[in-house]
Amino acid sequence: MEPKHTKKKYQDSLSRIITLGEIEDENVNEVIGLIYEINKEDEKLAIDSREPIQLILNSEGGHVYCGFGLVDCIEASQTPIHIIVQGQAQSMALPILCVGNVRKMSKRSTLMYHEISWETGQEKLRYHKQEAAEGERMQQLYDNVILEYTSVTKKTLKSIKDRNQEWYITPDEALELGFIDEII
């Protein structure tokens, strides 16, 4: 009797639905691996004839470095990746949504943008300066993805950060601002 969940069965069935919750090493690395496997499987097909990968995103965010690994993977994928938000795409999940080839959002889902954050602990001043510089670099990368893939302006993002608040985005706002292509 063949096991229910094997890599061979996944590849043979061409199941191209991937889910992602928290943006952390284990989850993101699994998604990146699946995207690479599907691209390898599709490499003899013309790009316009490839069946898209469906990435179902329901995430309150997570680790910035992991998230950018997935952003780069999605941008590099020759097989189209359609991202569907079912629930939430908050914090680091937001730029992941932005880079999808087709982006959809269910009618009760929420997007959220805010300034990136992480803890530095009790370290020497030099360490905090180094971490602050790296934080600025990460924030710029984060904002640049949003600015490149949506109609949101630098002024809007600066205003949110200056007020030190979260920006919750409804499906209608997300459609108007170009975060998504369709509300489902």
Q: Please tell me the total count of domains within the chain.
A: 1
Q: What single letter denotes the amino acid at residue 150?
A: T
Mean of pLDDT values over 156-179:
94
Q: Given this model, what pLDDT does residue 27 score?
A: 93
What range does the domain containing 85 cover? 7-183
pLDDT of residue 129: 87
- Name, in order, each residue with C-beta under 8 angstroms of 91's C-beta and a sequence gap of 6 or more: 23, 60, 61, 62, 112, 113, 114, 116
Confidence of residue 125 (pLDDT cuts 50, 70, 90): confident
Specify the pLDDT at position 117.
78
In contact, 177 and 184? CB cutoff 8 Å: no
> What six digits make up the tokens of 47?
């790009």
Query: Do the domain assignments include residue 169?
Result: yes
Q: Give the mean model confidence (pLDDT) for residues 114-143.
A: 85
**What's the confidence (pLDDT) of residue 85?**
98
Q: Which residue has the tokens 């730029």?
A: 95
In this structure, what CATH number is given to the domain that contains residue 83?
Answer: 3.90.226.10
User: Which of 120, 121, 57, 123 is CA-nearest to residue 91?
Assistant: 57
**In whole numbers, what is the pLDDT of the chain averaged over residues?**
90
Q: What pLDDT is stored for residue 120 in this prediction?
A: 67
pTM of the full structure: 0.88
Q: Which residues of the chain form beta strands (DSSP E)?
A: 17-20, 53-59, 81-90, 102-105, 110-113, 167-169, 182-183
Quick check: is 1 in a domain?
Answer: no
**pLDDT at position 57, please?**
97
Residue 69 belongs to some domain of the structure: yes
2 falls within a domain: no
CB 121 within 8 Å of CB 169: no
pLDDT value at residue 7: 37
Give pLDDT, residue 126. 82
Q: Would 11 be classed as within a structural domain?
A: yes
Residue whose pair of structure tokens reads 């329901």 in the numeric block: 58
Lowest mean pLDDT among 56-70, 73-87, 107-121: 107-121
Residue 83 in domain: yes
Which tokens sit at 184?
A: 């489902």
Q: How confident is the model at residue 116 (pLDDT cuts 50, 70, 90)?
A: confident
118 pLDDT above the threshold of 80 = no
Contact in structure between 35 and 81 (CB atoms under 8 Å): yes
DSSP character for 48? Answer: G
